[in-house]
């Protein structure tokens, strides 16, 4: 079989425009989305070789393993059950029904509070929510809430607070009253410094106004109920479970998104779950050539590990998806930003690319210069999410920009074309205008964006991330790389108070420079 690197060398000099004309299975459809993968350095022979590599790497068996609830998170000896949170009960085993019950409990609480609009035994009017959480306990709920902010309940003000920087809390509560606020604390571990710091601030904020009733204005979502009750110092019927076998960055389907259930309503959230389940069914059953998650994972492997492109740029051509790049950075880079196999062997290949990007067309007035004429040629990914509720002319312009950007990235503009169009240009200026092209891209398009389609999109990226991890030989479900920094922060925090010293010369310099400020 021709080595994949030989395929890459053979295709590199070719024009994407020509490859697109004969691209094999160029467009894939699932759960209301279409993925156009025609503008990549892939032809029929390469496509077959890639699919063959994926089959040899065990993509098919890995999909089955995931959906059978088998151990796939080897270092923590757990299954990954994020898909179970959105599985309809009629299809679920008793174990899966138990996982799903945690979602139903939160939905029931949301339904009751939206009806009563009263907080605690004093029945204070419920008017606002302060969501406290970070990472997977923040990005997902924040993305959903922002995407459907026009569908929110106008009588409930929603704020988010994540950072240990005190400014975040102070700005989040600005204008809110403890009398009318439900504080939602989300932490799977119930051990994250930033979240515990902000929960302590929220406790003081509530106590200062409503005294001993403060726990009635608090809902906690965690996989560690014991720690939550210890922090509360009393039992509460407002502690909701996050299943231990659902990773933090895979938890937006769980009670972690209680804020969205309350603000956007249980029906919208159920549609979100249903969209994800529809994508699950596609990924479980589609043959490899047609499997959207598998094909995108193979392209990630192809562009990064074989073609050596160590970035991927995510361009969300939808204002409602402006937080999608940030959300996906955690999902993909915390899952696959690794260099050691589950067996402890060094992986001597390039694994996950650096994922960055932003909102289109905004980025065209910023980093698109770099994309078109810079010296690096990463693959780009356009997510175009349309719906009939948007004004037609503006939406048409947005679509035109997305398609134009993808076309120019791929086809460029040659010196000959420039000189033909602008013959009066001095040669040295004409050369500044050359767009090299040769930048591959994927288009992900839906024409009826709604909660169902957002659920399907995020489920697609979850499965793609898992399958790309299989191709790279990675456990996508742990995150040991985030632990050391936290431990060191504790040591440096102590040194900043003057209690201890540190050995690193640069840290020691700055601890000395800050002097008495923190003592």
Q: Is 188 in the site for ligand F6P (CB under 6 A)?
A: yes
Q: Is 289 one of the annotated active-site residues of the chain?
A: no
Name the minimum Å distance from CB 453 to ligand F6P.
Answer: 24
State the binding string over 331-360 for ligand F6P (x if CB under 6 A, else -).
Answer: ---x--------------------------
d(C-alpha 472, C-alpha 464), whole Å:
12
Closer CB to ligand F6P, 260 or 384, in the complex: 260
Question: 27-30 and 33-39: which strand pairing?
Answer: antiparallel
Q: Which stretch binds ligand F6P (CB under 6 A): 130-138, 356-364, 424-432, 454-462?
A: 130-138
Q: Which stretch binds ligand F6P (CB under 6 A): 59-67, 132-140, 365-373, 433-441?
A: 132-140
Per annotation, catalytic residue among 194, 334, 381, 462: 334
Site string for ligand F6P, 384-423 (x = CB under 6 A): ----------------------------------------
Contacts of 90 (CB under 8 A, 6+ apart): none
Q: Does the protein bind ligand F6P through residue 482 (CB under 6 A)? A: yes
Show the CA angle centred on residue 213, arms to residues 208 and 219, nearest 5°. Answer: 100
| Cα separations in angstroms, 455 against 145, 291, 335, 460 | 13, 17, 19, 9
Candidates 46, 62, 145, 195; binder of ligand F6P (CB under 6 A) is: 195
334 is catalytic: yes
Buried b / exposed e along 280-306 (16+ C-beta atoms within 10 A): bebbeebebeebbbbbbbbbbbbbbbb
From 47, 187, 304, 465, residue interacting with ligand F6P (rule: CB under 6 A): 187
Site for ligand F6P (CB under 6 A): which residue of 189, 236, 390, 395? 189
Two structure tokens written together for 8: 């890459």
- Cα angle 487-491-494, degrees, rounded to a multiple of 5: 140
* Helix extents (H) in 148-224: 166-173, 193-210
Q: What is the enclosing helix (H) or strand (E) of 185? A: strand 181-186
DSSP 390: S
In the window 436-475, what residues touch ligand F6P (CB under 6 A)? none
Number of other residues whose CB lies within 10 A of the CB of residue 35: 22
Catalytic residue among 70, 193, 486, 501: 486
- Judge whether 282 and 163 are in contact, CB under 8 Å: no
Binding ligand F6P (rule: CB under 6 A), the pick from 81, 134, 297, 318 is: 134
Instruction: Write down how long the chain is.
Output: 519
Per CB under 6 A, 137 contacts ligand F6P = yes
Any catalytic annotation for residue 365? yes
- Residue 185 contacts ligand F6P per CB under 6 A: no
Number of residues that bind ligand F6P (CB under 6 A): 14
Which residues are CB-neighbours of 502 under 8 A, at least 6 positions away?
Answer: 491, 492, 495, 508, 511
- Regarding 192 and contact with ligand F6P (CB under 6 A), the answer is yes
Active-site residue list: 334, 365, 486
Binding interface with ligand F6P (CB under 6 A):
134-137, 187-189, 192, 195, 248-249, 334, 479, 482
């Amino acid at each position: 079989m021709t080595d994949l690197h030989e395929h890459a060398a053979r295709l590199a000099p070719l024009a994407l425009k020509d490859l697109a004309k004969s691209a094999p299975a160029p467009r894939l459809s699932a759960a209301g989305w279409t993925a156009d993968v025609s503008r990549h350095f892939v032809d029929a022979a390469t496509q077959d070789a890639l699919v063959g590599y994926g089959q040899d790497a065990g993509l098919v068996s890995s999909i089955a393993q995931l959906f059978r609830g088998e151990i796939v998170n080897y270092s923590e000896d757990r299954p990954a059950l994020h898909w179970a949170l959105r599985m309809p009960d009629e299809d679920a085993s008793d174990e899966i029904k138990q996982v799903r019950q945690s979602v139903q409990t939160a939905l029931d609480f949301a339904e009751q509070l939206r009806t009563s609009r009263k907080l605690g035994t004093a029945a204070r009017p419920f008017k606002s929510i302060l969501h406290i959480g970070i990472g997977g306990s923040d990005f997902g709920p924040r993305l959903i809430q922002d995407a459907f902010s026009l569908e929110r309940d106008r009588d409930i003000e929603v704020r988010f607070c994540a950072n240990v920087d005190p400014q975040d809390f102070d700005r989040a509560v600005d204008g809110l009253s403890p009398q009318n606020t439900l504080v939602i604390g989300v932490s799977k571990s119930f051990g994250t410094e930033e979240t515990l710091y902000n929960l302590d601030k929220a406790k003081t904020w509530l106590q200062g106004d409503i005294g001993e009733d403060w726990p009635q204005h608090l809902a906690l979502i965690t996989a560690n109920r014991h720690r939550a009750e210890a922090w509360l110092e009393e039992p509460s019927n407002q502690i909701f479970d996050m299943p231990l076998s659902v990773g933090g960055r895979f938890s937006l389907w769980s009670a972690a998104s209680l804020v969205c259930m309350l603000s956007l309503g249980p029906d919208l959230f159920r549609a979100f779950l249903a969209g994800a389940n529809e994508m699950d069914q596609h990924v479980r059953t589609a043959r490899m050539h047609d499997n959207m998650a598998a094909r995108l994972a193979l392209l990630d492997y192809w562009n990064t590990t074989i073609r050596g492109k160590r970035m991927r740029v995510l361009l969300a051509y939808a204002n409602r998806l402006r937080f999608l790049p940030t959300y996906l950075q955690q999902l993909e880079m915390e899952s696959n930003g690794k260099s050691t196999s589950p067996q402890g062997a060094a992986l001597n290949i390039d694994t996950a690319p650096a994922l960055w990007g932003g909102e289109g067309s905004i980025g065209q007035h910023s980093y698109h210069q770099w994309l078109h004429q810079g010296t690096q040629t990463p693959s780009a990914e356009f997510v175009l999410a349309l719906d009939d509720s948007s004004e037609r002319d503006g939406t048409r312009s947005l679509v035109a920009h997305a398609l134009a950007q993808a076309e120019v990235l791929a086809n460029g503009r040659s010196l000959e074309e420039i000189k033909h169009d602008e013959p009066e240009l001095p040669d040295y200026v004409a050369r500044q205008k050359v767009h090299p092209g040769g930048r591959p891209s994927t288009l992900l398009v839906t024409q009826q964006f709604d909660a169902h389609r957002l659920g399907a999109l995020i489920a697609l990226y979850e499965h793609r991330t898992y399958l790309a991890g299989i191709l790279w030989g990675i456990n996508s479900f742990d995150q040991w790389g985030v632990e050391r920094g936290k431990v060191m922060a504790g040591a440096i925090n102590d040194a900043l108070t003057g209690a201890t010293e540190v050995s690193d010369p640069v840290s020691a310099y700055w601890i000395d420079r800050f002097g008495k400020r923190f003592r």
